C-alpha cells in the first residue's frame, strides 16, 4: 500500500528570513522560536553525549530553517562543526539514484519489470545468481536476494584495511563481482535483504539506458535543477571539498581513527554522494511533494513493504523504491532514507503534508545509543505542533 505521512496542524513557527532582514516578528513567535532553538540544541547535545564527536541538525518548515550543532568538527583542534558542513550522505544516495531510475520509467525508456539481464546480460550470474529472474523493481526494493558486496570490503572492516586501501579505486563491475562470489540470500522476490549491490547495478543500468554515468544523470536531473550548490558526486575524489567535520571510526575497537579521506568508488551508486543539511532538506522536500517525479512514479516510490532490517531500530518501518517510511509516536509517519559510511551517519525525514523536514548529520560509527538519540530528535521535531 502507499503510505502517506502526518495529518497534523500547521507546523511550529521558526525564526523566518523576514525577521533576519529586520521585519518585526510577533512577540509570541519570537519567544516560541527561541524556546524551540533551546530544545533543538538539547536534542543535538544528547546525540553528542551518546558518543557522536560532531553533530549538525537542520529543521525546515514553511516558515524557515533552524540549524544547531554540537560537539566538534575535529577532535584534535576542538573546532566547531561548520554550520554549512559538507558530509558523506551514505545510503541517502539511493534516493537520488532511485529518482533517476523512476524518471527514466516515466519517460518510457525503462520498465520496473525489466530484468537485469535485459540491460546487463551476463553480469549477475554464478553461484546461483540469475539476472534473468531479478527485476529493476527488485533492485530498488531490496527483494533481489543479491549478496551485499560491502561485507567483503577490507577498507571498511578494519583500521589496517582502511589505512592500506583508502585510496583504492573500484569499478562498479568489480563491486558486483565481489557479490557474485556468494550465493543469493534467498530466491528473487521471496524476501527482503538490504544490499548495496542492488544500487550499484542500478547505476550500471542507468548508464546502459542513457549512455551517461549515473553521476551525470543525478547532476543533470536533480542537483542542477534544484540548485543544490553544495551537493556533488565525487567519483574517485577521496577528499571532502569545502567546510566539513572530520569523520571517525573505531572499527569495533576503542581508539577512533580519522577516516575522512576515503575513495568513494568503493560504494559508488549505493552511497557516495556528498551534501549538506540544507541541500538534503531541499531534495527530500522536492521529491516527496512531486517536483521530481510524475504522480505514477512517486506512487511507485512510496508504495512500501515491511523492512525487517530497518525494524531492528524502527518497529513497523517500511521500504519503497529508494525511500523508506517510519512511524511516529504522535501517529502517522515520515519518509526518508538512513545513510552511513565510515565516519559519517545521516538521517533525514520529511512530511510533505506539513512541509517539515529534518536532517541530522553526525560523525562516528553510529552506535545504538547514538541512533536512539537521533530517533528521539527526529520524532520530537516531526511531531512538533507549535
pLDDT in tens, 307-325: 988 888 788 999 999 999 9
Given this model, what pLDDT does residue 33 score? Answer: 73
The catalytically annotated residue of 91, 95, 195, 249 is 91
Q: List the chain domain ranges.
A: 48-383
Annotation says 91 is catalytic: yes
Task: State the pLDDT at residue 30.
Answer: 53
3-state secondary structure at position 353: coil
CATH superfamily, domain 48-383, is DD-peptidase/beta-lactamase superfamily (3.40.710.10)
Q: What is the pLDDT of residue 31?
A: 53
DSSP string of 28-93, one letter each residue: HHHHHHHHHHHHHHHHHHHHHHTT-SEEEEEEEETTEEEEEEEE-S-TTT-PPPPTT-BEE-GGGH
What is the DSSP track for 256-317?
-EE-----GGGTGGGT--EE-HHHHHHHHHHHHTTSSS-HHHHHHHTB-EE-TTGGGTSTT-
* Measured distance CA(43)–CA(380) in Å, rounded: 9
Q: What is the pTM of this model?
A: 0.91
CB burial of residue 311 (10 Å; 0-12, 13-18, 19+): middle
pLDDT per position as a tens digit, 112-131: 999 999 999 999 999 999 99
Query: What confidence category does residue 18 fall into, taking pLDDT thresholds of 50, 70 and 90?
Result: very low
Q: Each residue of 188-247: pLDDT tens digit? A: 999 999 999 999 999 999 999 999 999 999 999 999 999 999 999 999 999 999 999 999
Q: Residue 384: pLDDT band by 50, 70, 90 thresholds?
A: confident
Amino acid at each position: 500500500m502507499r503510505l502517506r505521512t502526518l495529518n497534523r496542524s500547521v507546523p511550529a513557527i521558526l525564526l523566518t528570513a523576514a525577521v533576519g532582514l529586520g521585519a518585526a516578528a510577533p512577540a509570541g513567535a519570537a519567544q516560541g522560536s527561541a524556546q524551540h532553538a533551546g530544545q533543538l540544541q538539547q536534542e543535538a547535545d544528547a546525540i553528542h553525549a551518546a558518543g557522536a564527536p560532531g553533530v549538525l541538525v537542520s529543521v525546515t518548515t514553511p516558515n524557515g530553517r533552524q540549524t544547531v550543532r554540537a560537539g566538534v568538527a575535529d577532535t584534535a583542534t576542538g573546532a566547531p562543526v561548520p554550520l554549512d558542513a559538507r558530509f558523506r550522505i551514505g545510503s541517502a544516495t539511493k534516493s537520488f539514484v532511485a529518482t533517476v531510475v523512476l524518471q527514466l520509467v516515466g519517460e518510457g525508456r525503462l520498465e520496473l519489470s525489466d530484468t537485469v539481464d535485459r540491460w546487463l546480460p551476463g553480469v549477475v550470474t554464478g553461484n546461483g545468481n540469475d539476472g534473468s529472474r531479478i527485476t529493476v523493481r527488485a533492485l530498488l526494493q531490496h527483494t533481489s536476494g543479491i549478496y551485499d558486496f560491502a561485507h567483503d570490503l577490507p577498507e571498511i572492516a578494519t583500521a589496517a584495511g582502511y589505512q592500506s586501501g583508502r585510496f583504492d579505486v573500484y569499478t562498479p563491475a568489480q563491486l558486483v563481482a565481489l557479490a557474485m562470489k556468494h550465493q543469493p540470500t534467498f530466491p528473487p522476490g521471496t524476501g527482503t535483504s538490504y544490499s548495496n549491490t542492488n544500487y550499484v547495478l542500478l547505476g550500471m543500468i542507468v548508464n546502459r539506458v542513457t549512455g551517461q554515468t549515473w553521476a551525470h544523470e543525478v547532476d543533470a536531473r536533480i542537483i542542477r535543477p534544484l540548485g543544490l550548490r553544495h551537493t556533488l558526486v565525487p567519483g574517485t575524489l577521496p577528499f571532502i571539498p569545502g567546510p566539513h567535520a572530520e569523520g571517525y571510526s573505531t572499527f569495533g575497537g576503542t581508539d577512533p581513527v580519522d577516516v575522512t579521506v576515503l575513495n568513494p568508488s568503493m560504494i559508488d551508486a549505493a552511497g557516495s554522494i556528498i551534501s549538506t543539511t540544507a541541500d538534503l532538506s531541499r531534495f527530500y522536500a522536492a521529491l516527496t511533494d512531486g517536483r521530481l517525479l510524475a504522480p505514477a512514479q512517486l506512487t511507485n516510490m512510496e508504495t512500501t513493504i515491511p523492512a525487517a532490517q530497518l525494524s531492528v531500530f524502527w518497529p513497523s518501518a517500511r521500504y519503497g523504491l529508494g525511500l523508506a517510511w517510519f512511524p511516529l509516536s504522535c501517529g502517522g509517519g515520515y519518509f526518508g532514507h538512513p545513510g552511513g559510511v565510515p565516519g559519517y551517519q545521516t538521517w533525514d525525514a520529511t512530511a510533505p503534508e506539513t512541509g517539515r523536514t529534518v536532517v541530522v548529520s553526525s560523525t562516528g560509527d553510529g552506535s545504538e545509543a547514538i541512533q536512539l538519540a537521533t530517533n528521539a530528535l527526529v520524532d520530537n521535531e516531526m511531531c512538533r505542533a507549535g
